[in-house]
């Protein structure tokens, strides 16, 4: 087993442990979701536009709320995640809601072994690429599954955020990808009081690395935006400055917290 395979195994175990806690958490509010709440935020909704009858591949979908939300908006959606517990919940939820949303459990690096289809849109959002060591390989996968002129849409937490310790008191981590970051954790962003324990392996990726991985794999960048808030209250020491807009209290609006990318796969 290679180092990266060991890291993926560690992360799969972590997300399998987190999933039951997340499903029961007020953070994800599964009850409201089952009753019709759309889990997508304005940033990604604006980028996606009208997705009626669009084939959408959602990478690293966790337990499927956003993927199912895409289906509710009229898309033909397929979600992929590495954690069996998450995909099992996703399938159960889609079945409960009588939706045709499809889910695949695998490492996205291995997705071509499980899926043979082209999509109009590939979508990924919020806390995804930090679990991947190789963004060139990631961009090649996105290219592979997109139709010519297909769109890639991404919203994620800004890499500057990951430089800080958990309380945003000091810079602890490198902005650039210098290898795997191994950590032992207790609790989870969705329920900080839970006592679950797990190890994680993650990688920091600079904006330059992210954009260049797409550009070098035949994508044209249509838009790139940065935001000074998070739509989720998932960090420590936050303050809600507007409804569903959270900042680090002592940072104010000085810190970039999100970025969003819209890119188009070139014809050739």
Residues of the chain with pLDDT under 70: 268
CA distance 22 to 24: 5
Domain range 3-157+205-228+256-265, CATH class: alpha beta
Domain boundaries, the chain: 3-157+205-228+256-265
Where are any strands of DSSP class E within the chain? 55-59, 76-81, 102-105, 119-125, 146-157, 181-186, 197-202, 219-227, 238-242, 245-248, 258-265
Give the number of other CB atoms < 10 A from CB of residue 228: 16
DSSP state of 163: G
pLDDT single digits (tens) 217-237: 999 999 999 999 999 999 999
CA distance 253 to 229: 7
pLDDT single digits (tens) 239-250: 999 999 999 999
């Amino acid at each position: 087993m290679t180092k990266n395979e060991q890291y993926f195994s560690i992360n799969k175990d972590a997300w399998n442990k987190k999933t039951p806690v997340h499903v029961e958490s007020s953070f994800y509010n599964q009850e409201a979701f089952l009753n019709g709440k759309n889990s997508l935020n304005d940033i990604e909704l604006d980028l996606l536009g009208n997705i009626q009858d669009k084939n959408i591949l959602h990478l690293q979908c966790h337990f499927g709320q956003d993927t199912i939300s895409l289906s509710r908006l009229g898309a033909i959606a397929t979600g992929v995640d590495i954690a069996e517990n998450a995909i099992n919940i996703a399938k159960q939820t889609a079945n409960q809601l009588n939706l045709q949303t499809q889910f695949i459990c695998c490492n996205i690096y291995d997705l071509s072994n499980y899926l043979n289809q082209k999509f109009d849109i590939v979508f990924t959002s919020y806390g995804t690429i930090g679990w991947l060591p190789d963004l060139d390989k990631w961009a090649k996968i996105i290219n592979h599954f997109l139709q010519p002129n297909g769109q890639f849409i991404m919203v994620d937490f800004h890499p500057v955020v990951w430089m800080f310790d958990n309380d945003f008191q000091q810079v602890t981590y490198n902005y650039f990808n210098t290898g795997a970051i191994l950590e032992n954790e207790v609790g989870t962003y969705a329920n900080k009081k839970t006592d679950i324990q797990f190890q994680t392996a993650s990688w920091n990726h600079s904006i330059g690395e992210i954009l260049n991985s797409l550009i070098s794999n035949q994508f044209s960048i249509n838009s790139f935006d940065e935001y000074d808030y998070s739509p989720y209250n998932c960090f420590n020491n936050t303050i809600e400055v507007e409804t569903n807009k959270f900042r680090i209290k002592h940072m104010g609006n000085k810190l970039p917290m999100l970025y969003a990318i819209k890119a188009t796969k070139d014809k050739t």
